């Protein structure tokens, strides 16, 4: 019988260093013991909209996410079941038809900017982590990521940041910090905070034995 799966939620603003924290934890816990779920994979399917309309979607608002599917798949992982995780195409602003099979492992990391906003999602987490990073660092990281990895122009990234990303951060992301069990400062590079988190994860896993 499979032991309980430990669900770790890693929240924080866009470009805060959530991926850095996730990668560090994977190295510490062991890749063979960790499954990763990105909230970005669960943007709603928009096949019914044309490209110009898909571009106008506010991707930094809670309504942009298919939380029903996300919640169900987290529950499945907690029960030891594999899932078919959606794949989102950021250049097309739409979900791809193919999916990615994700196995349930000892540790499941759920990472995203708005994962603390939905109580039903929070209640599925064993450990809630908030990565706290200065806004100037976050915007620089976002610009570099969106241009290099997502095929965006500099103008479009800045426009999106000013019109949706920053307002949503102030309205939804920053206030959700109060739900965190652990806050990691300095963009996810605070070694003391990471070590405390790792010790907590080990404690959770030992309780499963």
Q: Annotated binding site for ATP: which residue ranges?
A: 12-19
Using only C-alpha atoms, what is the Rg of the chain? 17
The C-alpha atoms of residue 169 and residue 167 are separated, in whole angstroms, by 5
The C-alpha atoms of residue 124 and residue 107 are separated, in whole angstroms, by 13
DSSP helix/strand/coil, 58 = coil
The DSSP letter of residue 114 is: S
- Binding residues are 12-19
For tokens 């996810």, the residue is: 188
User: Do 92 and 49 contact (CB within 8 A), yes or no?
Assistant: no
What lies within 8 Å, CB to CB, of 14 at 6+ separation is: 60, 113, 138, 142, 165, 169
Among residues 116, 129, 135, which one has the least CA distance to residue 190? 129
């Amino acid at each position: 019988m499979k032991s309980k799966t430990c669900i770790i939620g890693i929240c924080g603003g866009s470009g805060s260093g959530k991926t850095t924290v996730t990668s560090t934890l994977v190295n510490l816990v062991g890749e063979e013991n960790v499954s990763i779920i990105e909230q970005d994979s669960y943007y709603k399917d928009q096949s019914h909209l044309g490209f110009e309309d898909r571009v106008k979607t506010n991707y930094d608002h809670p309504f942009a996410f298919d939380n029903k599917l996300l919640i169900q798949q987290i529950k499945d992982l907690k029960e030891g079941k594999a899932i078919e995780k959606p794949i989102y195409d950021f250049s097309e602003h739409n979900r791809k038809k193919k999916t990615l099979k994700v196995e349930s492992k000892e540790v499941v990391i759920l990472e995203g900017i708005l994962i603390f906003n939905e109580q039903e999602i929070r209640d599925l987490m064993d450990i809630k982590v908030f990565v706290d990073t200065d806004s100037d660092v976050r915007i620089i990281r976002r610009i570099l990521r969106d241009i290099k990895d997502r095929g965006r122009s500099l103008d479009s990234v800045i426009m999106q940041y000013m019109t949706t990303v920053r307002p949503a951060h102030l309205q939804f992301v920053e206030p959700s910090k109060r739900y965190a069990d652990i806050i990691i400062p300095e963009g996810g590079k605070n070694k003391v905070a990471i070590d405390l988190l790792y010790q907590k994860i080990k404690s959770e896993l030992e309780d499963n034995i």
